[in-house]
Structure 1
Amino acid sequence: MSTWRVLVKGIGIAGVVGCVMPAHADTTITVATVNNPDMVTMQKMTAAFKKAHPDINVNYVTLPENELRQKITTDIASGGGQYDVITVSNYETPIWAKNGWLKPMDNLPESYASNDLIDSVRQGLSADGTLYALPFYAESSMTYYRKDLFSKAGLTMPERPTWDQVQTFARTLNDPANGVYGICLRGLPGWGQNMALFGTMVNGYGGRWFDMDWQAQLTSEPWKKAAAMYKSLLTEYGPPGATSNGFTESETLFANGQCGMWVDSTVAAGYLSDPATSKVADQVGFAQSPYQTTQNGANWLYVWALAVPKSAPHAEAAQTFVDWATSSQYISSVAADKGWLGVPPGTRTSTYESDGYRKVAPFASLVFKAITSADPNHPTAEPVPYTGIQFISIPQFQAIGTRVGQLMAGIVSGQSTIEQGLEQGQQFTQRLIDRAGYGKK
């Protein structure tokens, strides 16, 4: 949007003639994002961006995650140019970069300190060694537990438990009569809900989605063992209605004191440690995400990032905004405004080296280790032809993960046996991957 300023010299209308001169042009950029707490904070901090860049106005389009993905995918694939900045993850970024849909982040200012970005996060947003999105916040997975309940039961949580140990702990802690369940886990179907957790369980049992010839492995022993453990934990020691509980519901249950343990995103650590939002803030313990036979791929890596589409109408202004919102200076500004527990986590080494952050975040070193150890290039014990830990970086995975997530929910609810559900998942996955031509020479 351009504005023009009329300068009047002298007095009277005659003085206006010939004196209409162009001034600087204001630019309005449109940012498509999700309505989660860190993005809400970004919107509230935009006044600081506007103060530093008075010629750039920011218009936010805030949508639920599924609707956001649909709208920006349609727009970016068609070159529609509705958005200047889009919110993407480490799932879409490498795929869209290879499609030529994103502008490379290859001309960052020195002050941006790109070497400060955590390496695993940087790799997840790169294609052929080039960044195509800048990370806003990142997460891995971890184990939360009630220190008071563990102490009372005489239990000790290892730094990294096995799933067998988790099952034993859950059995001991389970006390539904007093409103405490042994463990809470995501059961809500979806490639980003129950499959985020279950995918890492499969990895931890030594499983994989495909072998090197793109043959699906869903009926293999690791998948069966992981599914049996998952069902046991949810149905024997979890809260009722498990298939209705996603991240948010499980977080609320734990914060209300209804879970002895919870395995989920590291991003919940601040929420559970804050007395304003958690009834058990002073009793939360932290451990690494469980594994069984291997630690490869046992904890996930997910990054929310900002990217500039090739079709962005105002690419230069959009890049200025992305640089600002993902900078270390932005993190410092949020810390000053909202406190260190309010900063977007998981993107920069300097955050975890900060005395201020470490002082209020007893989980900081554990989360940093989880994020830095997550390796999307080596997500399983055996070789695989794909990258990604709790997802596979291919366009077909959304459909595969969604369908298998529904089948896993059916297994948990008793609609099918483990063997029946995994066989259906095997057939669906192989059919879709064959149609896409993977594995064909």
Structure 2
Amino acid sequence: MKSLRNTALGLSMGIVAASTAFADGHAKELTIAIVNNGHMINMQKVAEAYTEETGVKLNWVSLEEGVLREQVTSDTATGGGQYDIINIGMQEAPIWGAAGWIEPLNFSAEYDVDDILPAMREGLSHDGTLYAAPFYGESSMVMYRKDLTDAAGVTIVDNDSWDNITAAAAAMHDPENGVYGACLRGKPGWGDGMAFVTTVANSFGAAWFDKDMKPTLDTPEWNAAVTMYVNLLNSYGPPGSEGNSFNEILALYNEGKCGLWIDATIAASFLEVDGVAYAQSPNAGNPVGANWLWAWAMAVPSGTENADEAKAFIEWATSKEYVQAVGNHPDFGWAKVPTGQRASTYAIPEFQAVAGFAAAEMAAIDSAAPGATDLKPYVGVQFVAIPEFPEVGTAVSQEIAAALSGAKSVEEALAAGQAAADAIMKEAGYY
């Protein structure tokens, strides 16, 4: 078989190891559960070369974010073995690694694990052991149409105030011509709308729990944050914002329908409109926690019978050579490479030439603060690194979506969220 070492894709690293794993001549199949975001979708095409070289058939299960989390959690917790490789993130990786749900990852020296950005490596490890390899990493930032802000005579700056962000959204808002001032997540789910709302709450000085791990959704800080958020979207957002998460807003933005969007830095790789500018996330006096930290990573469930083959694929798919493969791929190019995972990516001249967002992305990642602070006794920015948080965050997000849709007042939603969170934490034995 023709070696990929000599092809334009340059996919040799990792494939050598994978070929060794399959030296018995029996082709394997791997079933991979991925989130239906752009970089993951692109991987399916890039990985055709992996199958050609190794004979490994890759069965892709692409799922919406909330559905992925539900199915992967259920299968992994029970050792169901439905998947050989799964997409997870920083909330799950350390907890699942400690519980033995996923396999530790020990890659070859050529993989250069030290090239992975420290924030990503640490967030996906437990006790110094890596349990998931970052396919891409992200923080969050403002992405705005500078042509629209210039035309409206307004400016957006790094770490802006929410008052100024609201004023900018109002100035750009032109629904008669199909432009909405602000497009923001509202879809229920701890990693969907709640991820963004948590950063807003953080910026107002709120926290999920106090030092005794009791929920604090009944505080003035939470009320101020959610009230501002609901008013901003109801005044200057698109209709039906309670149904929008990353993919829905990306589509709106690329249709020219959004003035500003505050979301994952990785979105910048997929923006197709002209005149986009970037700024660090706004806050209401507290910049710590105003921008999140996340990685969509690849892990091996302990229930798989194909652990060695799965690890070999992950080593290839998260390598420096994979970045080169995407950059040199005729369907993608350097503007579409996965970012936020490896330091070396930002030194590639071809990437620097097309990635106008790179400096803003790295500034956001570098400023993200997942550690415990005086305001919060837990690890995590837009999530809390405890096993109960997905249940808590999802329950509260449903209440906030109800406030966004007008089904409840902000006060009613937060009271119901507080009650739900309190019941979950009590049952878990925190107090």
What is the TM-score with the length of structure 1 in the denominator? 0.87
Distance 2:178 2:339 in 1: 32
Is the aligned partner of 1:347 residue 2:348?
no
Aligned-pair distance for 1:52?
A: 4.3
- Residue 62 of structure 1 aligns with an amino acid whose one-letter code is S
Q: Of residues 374, 383, 388 in structure 2, which corresponds to 1:396?
A: 388
- Residue 59 of structure 1 aligns with an amino acid whose one-letter code is N
1:29 aligned partner: 30
Closer, same or farther: CA 81–194 of 1 in aligned 2, 3 Å? closer
Closer, same or farther: CA 241–318 of 1 in aligned 2, 3 Å? closer
2:162 aligned partner: 163
Task: Give the conservation status (yes or no) of the 8 Å contact 1:102–1:308.
Answer: yes
Closer, same or farther: CA 427–169 of 1 in aligned 2, 3 Å? same
Map 1:270-285 → 2, pairs under 5 A: 270-272=269-271, 278=272, 281-285=273-277
**Deviations 1:12-39 (CA, angstroms, capped at 9, x unpaired):** xxxxxxxxxx964433333222333222
Aligned-pair distance for 1:392?
A: 1.3
Map 1:31-430 → 2, pairs under 5 A: 31-54=32-55, 56-105=56-105, 107-272=106-271, 278=272, 281-337=273-329, 338-378=332-372, 382-430=374-422
Distance 2:212 2:375 in 1: 10
SS in 2 for 1:289: coil
SS in 2 for 1:165: helix
Distance 1:197 1:32 in 2: 24
Task: Give the conservation status (yes or no) of the 8 Å contact 1:187–1:243.
Answer: yes
Closer, same or farther: CA 61–179 of 1 in aligned 2, 3 Å? closer
Task: Give the conservation status (yes or no) of the 8 Å contact 1:133–1:305.
Answer: yes
**Deviations 1:99-138 (CA, angstroms, capped at 9, x unpaired):** 1111112x32111111111111111111112110101112
For structure 1, which runs of at least 5 residues remain unmatched after alignment? Answer: 1-21, 273-277
Distance 1:23 1:349 in 2: 36
Task: Give the conservation status (yes or no) of the 8 Å contact 1:190–1:402.
Answer: yes
SS in 1 for 2:261: strand
Distance 1:198 1:25 in 2: 49
**Deviations 1:158-186 (CA, angstroms, capped at 9, x unpaired):** 12212121012122222333332221211
Distance 2:250 2:39 in 1: 16
- Residue 117 of structure 2 aligns with an amino acid whose one-letter code is I
Closer, same or farther: CA 120–257 of 1 in aligned 2, 3 Å? same
- Residue 228 of structure 1 aligns with an amino acid whose one-letter code is T
Deviates more, 1:215-224 or 1:145-154: 145-154
Taking every aligned residue pair, what percent have the same amino acid on both sides? 44
Task: Give the conservation status (yes or no) of the 8 Å contact 1:184–1:250.
Answer: yes
- Residue 31 of structure 1 aligns with an amino acid whose one-letter code is I
Report the structure number with the largest CA radius of gyration. Answer: 1
Aligned-pair distance for 1:215?
A: 1.5
Deviates more, 1:129-138 or 1:178-187: 178-187
Distance 1:66 1:179 in 2: 29
Task: Give the conservation status (yes or no) of the 8 Å contact 1:410–1:421.
Answer: yes
- Residue 240 of structure 1 aligns with an amino acid whose one-letter code is P
Task: Give the conservation status (yes or no) of the 8 Å contact 1:104–1:132.
Answer: yes
Distance 1:247 1:47 in 2: 27
**Deviations 1:170-214 (CA, angstroms, capped at 9, x unpaired):** 222223333322212112222222211100000011110001101
Closer, same or farther: CA 414–82 of 1 in aligned 2, 3 Å? closer
Distance 2:68 2:243 in 1: 22
Aligned-pair distance for 1:383?
A: 4.1
**Deviations 1:31-56 (CA, angstroms, capped at 9, x unpaired):** 222333222222212232234434x4
Aligned-pair distance for 1:294?
A: 1.2
- Residue 340 of structure 1 aligns with an amino acid whose one-letter code is W
Task: Give the conservation status (yes or no) of the 8 Å contact 2:155–2:168.
Answer: no
- Residue 206 of structure 2 aligns with an amino acid whose one-letter code is G
Aligned-pair distance for 1:372?
A: 2.5
Deviates more, 1:176-185 or 1:204-213: 176-185
- Residue 402 of structure 2 aligns with an amino acid whose one-letter code is G
- Residue 366 of structure 1 aligns with an amino acid whose one-letter code is A
Distance 1:302 1:247 in 2: 14
Distance 2:77 2:45 in 1: 30
